[in-house]
């Protein structure tokens, strides 16, 4: 398989990887710090709220990195990415909707909402891989 040689595309991908690594490191730090904070007794509620919402900041940095990446790719690549996002939104949206009914009416075990966003990212990644193969 031939590799990409366009310097603009390569530098855009590198910048995306760099921004994502920074956001992922921050996310890991915030999650571990938050989990540690919940184990400390008698912490004020506002501290726990701040600790719980802190991982959102690096998650927003990930979103920012993705938007910058999206603006730096060509129209065909952008189509693959947006199709991937649409597929992920549909799969996770309908999946969680269906599971909500199953939880309420069929007694299936409760799943925390925390898993919705990672599921979205996972399905989006998988969808982009499948779409890339389809257009190969």
Residues 6+ apart with CB under 8 A from 63: none
- Member of 8, 17, 25, 82 binding other proteins (CB under 8 A): 8
Q: Give the C-alpha separation, 75 to 1, whole Å.
A: 21
- Member of 41, 46, 75, 107 binding other proteins (CB under 8 A): 75
* Residues within window 115-134 making contact with other proteins, judged by CB under 8 A: 132, 134
Nearer to other proteins, 77 or 96 (CB): 77
Q: Which x/- pattern, by CB under 8 A, does the window 16-55 give for other proteins?
A: ----------------------------------------
Question: Is the Cβ–Cβ distance between 59 and 117 less than 8 Å?
Answer: yes
Helices 75-106 & 116-134, crossing angle to 10 degrees? 140
């Amino acid at each position: 398989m031939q590799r990409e040689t366009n310097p603009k595309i390569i530098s855009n991908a590198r910048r995306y990887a760099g921004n994502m690594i920074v956001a992922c490191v921050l996310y890991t730090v915030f999650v571990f710090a938050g989990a540690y904070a919940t184990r400390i007794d008698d912490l004020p509620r506002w501290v726990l709220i701040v600790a719980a919402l802190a991982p959102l900041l690096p998650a927003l940095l990930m979103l920012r990195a993705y938007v910058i990446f999206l603006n730096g790719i060509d129209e065909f690549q952008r189509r693959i990415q947006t199709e991937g996002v649409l597929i992920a939104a549909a799969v996770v949206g309908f999946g969680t909707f269906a599971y909500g009914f199953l939880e309420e009416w069929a007694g299936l075990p409760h799943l925390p909402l925390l898993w919705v966003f990672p599921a979205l990212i996972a399905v989006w990644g998988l969808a982009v891989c499948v779409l890339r193969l389809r257009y190969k």
